[in-house]
């Protein structure tokens, strides 16, 4: 009979092997946790990042001070409540999902990021020279405003788009550029300015009401007595 070959392992090898097993399990668990945290940071309906993700991305982008600068956008649906009231909330969800997909497609092409800020409101930041901004904004709005397919119907829908370019606000932080884009969107929606319109330094300096941009829901309410004033950086919250 052939002799049996006995594989002998030193105590050191056995010790390292035993240590490697829990380490591998720990690494696998860490990857799982990271994926869960990443998923938790995305909007469940659209799978876009939420406001926190946009702020983190935008802050880093603006801090790079690219010569061509960045275009920051805020988009808000027109008549979204009417869609929900007429066709139901499932139709409203389809509108939001479709808008998110269209904006994601555009921002990916332009080396940027799109996020859902809440409801039918979105934000984005892309690397784009200022001289291209007006044409790109017009193209984007036309792309976003196409009817939304839903159960054999084509729901008419449009968005108001406001934007600000970092080169118009040199040295300003992300929150200031985002505020200018938010105010620009509000002014476009209310037809105070023609579209396309880029937010100015004056727009970025608009004082908040109850910590929010004037005109947003809740800004007409008087804050409770003793409530500390909110920082102007919260204007786009």
Which residues have a catalytic role annotated?
120
Pick from 112, 136, 106: nearest CA to 198: 136
Beta-strand relationship, 158-165 and 148-150? unpaired
Residue 216 is classified by DSSP as S
What are 206's strand-pairing partners? none
Strands (E), 92-233: 112-118, 121-127, 148-150, 153-155, 158-165
CB within 8 Å of 131: residues ≥ 6 apart = none
List alpha helices for 64-164, DSSP H: 80-87, 89-109, 133-144
Give CA separation, 29 vs 15, 32, 90, 206, in Å: 22, 5, 36, 47
Residue 236: other Cβ atoms inside 10 A: 22
């Amino acid at each position: 009979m052939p002799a049996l070959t006995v594989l002998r392992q030193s105590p050191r090898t056995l010790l390292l092997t035993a240590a490697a097993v829990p380490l591998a399990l720990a690494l696998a668990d860490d990857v799982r946790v990271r994926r869960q945290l990443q998923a938790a940071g995305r909007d469940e309906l659209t799978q876009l990042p939420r406001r926190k993700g946009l702020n983190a991305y935008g802050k880093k982008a603006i801090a790079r001070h690219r010569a061509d600068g960045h275009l920051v956008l805020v988009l808000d649906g027109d008549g979204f409540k009417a869609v929900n009231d007429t066709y139901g909330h499932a139709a409203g969800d389809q509108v939001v999902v479709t808008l998110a997909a269209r904006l994601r497609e555009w921002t990916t092409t332009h080396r940027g990021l799109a996020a859902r800020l809440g409801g039918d409101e979105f934000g984005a930041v892309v690397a784009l020279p200022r001289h291209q901004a007006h044409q790109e904004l017009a193209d984007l709005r036309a792309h976003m405003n196409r009817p939304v397919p839903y159960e054999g119907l084509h729901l008419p829908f449009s968005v108001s788009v406001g934007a600000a370019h970092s080169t118009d606000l040199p040295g300003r932080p992300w929150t200031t550029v985002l505020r200018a884009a938010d105010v620009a969107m509000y002014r476009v929606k209310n037809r105070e300015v023609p579209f396309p319109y880029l937010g100015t330094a004056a727009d970025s300096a608009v004082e908040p009401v109850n910590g929010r941009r004037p005109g947003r829901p809740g800004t007409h309410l008087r804050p409770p007595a003793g409530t500390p004033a909110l920082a102007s950086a919260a204007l786009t919250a």
